A and B are shown apart, each in its own frame.
Chain A
Amino acid sequence: MNTLLDHLVVLPILLPLAAGALMLMFDDRQRVTKAFINVFATALHLVICVMLVVQAANPTDLLAASYPIGNWPVPFGIVLVADRLSAMMVLLASVLGISALVYSLARWHAAGPNFHTLFQFLLMGLNGAFLTGDIFNLFVFFEVMLAASYGLALHGLGLARIKAGLHYVAVNLGASFLFLIGAALIYGVTGTLNMADLASKVATIPELDRGLLEAGAAFLGLAFLLKAGMWPLGFWLPTTYAAASAPVAAVFAIMTKVGVYAVLRLSTLAFGIEAGASAGLGQTVLQIGGMATIAFGAVGVLASQTTARLAGYCVLVSSGTLLAAIGMGNAFVTGGALYYLVISTLAISAFFLIVELLERIRIAGADVLAITLEAYGDDEEDIENDEIGLAIPGALTMLGICFALCVLLLAGLPPLAGFLGKFAIISALFNPHGLTEAAIITPASWWLASLMIFSGFAALVALTRTGISTFWATMSDTPAPVRVIEIAPILLLLGLTVVMTVLAGPVMDYMYVMAENLHSPAIEIGNILATPLVGEVLP
């Protein structure tokens, strides 16, 4: 415990904190310096996260995965845990971070004060929320993340952002109070805030107190589901995301996944099979709520009149799919859902970035026009087109390819990974005990599978309509001015999904081991509770 590598788990939190604080020292006129620090810190952060994932994938090194902050013994002090799931989420956050940051350097980072500092604090909050093993500490990191996100959501100001921001802040403040009530209730009943300690105590709670404990867990769940945007708690989401500036919305794509992550973490850790009478708490709510979210999101996707709003509803569809899949409480379904989580987050983030570039090549109100044209018929089909034979500019081709890739990913069509993720979930729904064993398929599985296919169809229809009205019916004469640093992050995000498609086998194996560990948490609970302190000799 002497090298920097031993402190690897805490670095994803400390690095953004230090970088963000350092950038506060500079005036906003020195934006280039700030941008340089920010890019350097985020790139270093990406390297650290990759190391964290490699460390977490190494099964012999389980003990190093938990880190007692300040060297306090575990159930009393705060512990950070970097298992496979946390490491993967942190890596995902840093990938989105670096691509959104590079994109923002083209234009957006100059649209308001302190963009770079807020950006680093958002990363810090995200990483902390993914890594912490303590419920109250989770609350603190949620607030760090939210405080930064309030600033970023308003970045660039403007009427739409302020109006959406007001609702966003109010809703999330309410959610924070629910979180506090839940955490206090759980502490009041079990006397612990450590997640692993809580998990080991849930089964032995006296029958009289069980109601209170479950009420506390339900309050926590409400706060998480509000972040995840579950219907009917997610009405704030499409408006806020559509109003936010493109790079900010691209990072926000992972904020809903924080809620999903917290639900997955607590429901499998504390209310898994070993929880006695409380096992499987809230699974029905997750199933029904998740499916309602998919349906609401799919209808929203079809009805959206702007592409940014459409992307916001895609976030809802992805959240709903994940929540309903988690609600199934089956390791195979969870494994598929984790793969889908990564793919859909990357795709939605890329889509938010593309949306802004698309807006530059189309006339205002083209979305409304597309819907009206479909509803009332196009009377002007015979307009002569003088531009036949005009070469499509390179930028337009590039955007078109990226857009098509996004459509394939979001609609879940082969050959890309969006299809593989959905296929893995649906296949696991119909074979809950693996491919070799026959099983009874529950009605919930049928519903979820059909809703997932329906939502994919809805996304395909809506996105194709947008694509036609943007690329084929574009009425702007000038080719889109797109810079390399704007298209490169999109290519990075989409390239990663292609890599995940090609390497689907090993990635899926990683996910299945992760899901397996999540659904049988006994070993991990034991490991966390036995976290060695620095200077302590291992028995």
Chain B
Amino acid sequence: MELVLAIGIGVLTSCGVFLMLRPRTFQVIIGLSLLSYAVNLFIFSMGRLMVGAAPVTASGTIDPTHFTDPVPQALVLTAIVIGFAMTALFLVVMLAARGVTGTDHVDGREQR
């Protein structure tokens, strides 16, 4: 499972970085989205991977090895919300740029 997750994060990150460096605003926004998925998975994996374990502990004395770490799950929720909001904001700027400059190049003009 670790290997699958690591490869998944790696593929998402490399695609994200590649697309972010492309000259079209649409490619940049897709790249940023992919990158945010990769980062969210990465944060999630920092709580160590466990199968079938709950993040919420029962009352009384418990054995922590039977429970998964709840903090990264809380962090990842925050990160998803913020990342989503920021991407939406970027979309607005992108549309404004497309409308004003008449091109979808990130510099606002086509390369000669």
Contacts and interface: CB of A to CB of B under 8 A. Distances in A.
B90 A169 contact: yes
Nearest to A172: B86
A188 B36 CA distance: 18
A163 interface: yes
Contacts of B87: 173
Contacts of A136: 75, 78
A177 interface: yes
Interface residues of B, number: 32
Interface in A147-175: 147, 150, 154, 157, 159, 162-163, 165-167, 169-170, 173-174
B53 interface: no
Nearest to B106: A166
Contacts of B72: 184, 187
Interface in B49-82: 71-72, 75, 78-79, 82
Interface residues of A, number: 29
Contact of A159 (B35, B36, B100, B106): B100
A162 B20 contact: no
Contacts, number: 84
A193 B79 CA distance: 15
Contacts of B71: 187, 193
B108 interface: yes
B101 interface: yes
A288 interface: no
A177 B36 contact: yes
B5 interface: no
Nearest to B109: A163
Interface in B1-46: 20, 25, 28, 32, 35-36, 39, 42-43, 46
A516 interface: no
Given A150-B89, A159-B108, A177-B36, 7 more contacts: A150-B93, A162-B96, A169-B90, A173-B87, A181-B39, A183-B43, A184-B42
28 contacts: A136-B75, A139-B82, A140-B82, A147-B86, A154-B93, A157-B100, A159-B108, A162-B93, A162-B100, A163-B107, A165-B97, A166-B25, A166-B97, A166-B106, A169-B86, A169-B90, A169-B93, A173-B32, A174-B20, A176-B86, A177-B83, A180-B43, A181-B39, A184-B42, A184-B72, A185-B46, A187-B46, A187-B75
A-B complex: 7 closest residue pairs judged by Cβ atoms: A188-B46, A184-B43, A163-B108, A184-B46, A177-B39, A180-B39, A143-B82
Interface of B: 20, 25, 28, 32, 35-36, 39, 42-43, 46-47, 71-72, 75, 78-79, 82-83, 85-87, 89-90, 93-94, 96-97, 100-101, 106-108
Interface of A: 136, 139-140, 143, 146-147, 150, 154, 157, 159, 162-163, 165-167, 169-170, 173-174, 176-177, 180-181, 183-185, 187-188, 193
